[in-house]
Amino acid sequence: MMLGALPDCFSQDKKTSEKQDLTQLPDSLREKMHSPTKAAVFSAVLPGLGQAYNRKYWKIPIIYAGFGVLTYFIVTNADQYMTYQSAIIEQSNGDTNGNYAYLVNKYTESQLQSAREYYRRNLEISILLTAVLYSLNILDALVDAHLMTFNINQELTFRVRPVILPPVMHTAGAYTGLQLSLRF
């Protein structure tokens, strides 16, 4: 008896329960819903977060693998740089029994300086590549967010076809070439 009199507060509205597909919305609403600026800021705050915002989850492990490899190179090169720097200091002090005696007794001062400069250069390159990867991470999130609203339909085509052109006045034969056609 009372069951028929219950309000419909427990039923779900069909419009709110279904997810709206971004491609079905007008461009102005899609741009408001998916912000390229927000994606870039997310990636700047935490690398990979902009890619998660763009729902490109497969890119996140690639970003962190790159940062992991570059961090390894930074730590290794910094450690080697400091080792050779300390060996140069020990050699200039005349200490042949110090912590770096294995290097001091094996190499000349110019060889130690050359090795130190090698690791310093590699350290600087590793730091520079880390900054480039960080920037590319932000740029990728920004561009990917812009392309979320890009309309791709069947009307947009680009074709390249080989063609044989008929002979023109005062020529002996036909010409071959490529036909480029763009339809939008």
- pTM beyond 0.85, yes or no: no
Q: Is residue 98 part of a domain?
A: yes
Could you tell me if residue 13 is inside a domain? no
Segments forming the whole domain that contains residue 36: 25-151
H, E, C per residue of 59-111: HHHHHHHHHHHHHHHHHHHHHHHHHHHHHHHHHHHCCCCCCCHHHHCCCCHHH
Q: Does the structure show a pLDDT above 60 at 107? A: yes
At how many degrees (to 10) do helices 109-147 and 36-45 cross?
150
Whether 177 is covered by a domain: the verdict is no
In order of 115, 128, 140, 157, the CA distances from 66 in angstroms are 26, 13, 14, 35
Query: Looking at residue 130, what is its pLDDT?
Result: 98
Position 160 in a domain = no
Identify which has the larger pLDDT, 95 or 109.
109
- pLDDT in the model for residue 79: 97
Confidence tier at 32 by pLDDT (50, 70, 90): low
Q: Is 14 a member of any domain?
A: no
- The pair of structure tokens assigned to 42 is 């997310």
Number of domains in the chain: 1
Question: 5 pLDDT exceeds 90?
Answer: no
pLDDT the model gives residue 177: 87
Tell me, yes or no, whether 161 lies in a domain. no
Of 39 and 6, more confident: 39
- Report yes or no on 111 lying in a domain: yes
164 within domain boundaries: no
* Residue 111 tokens, joined: 């060889």
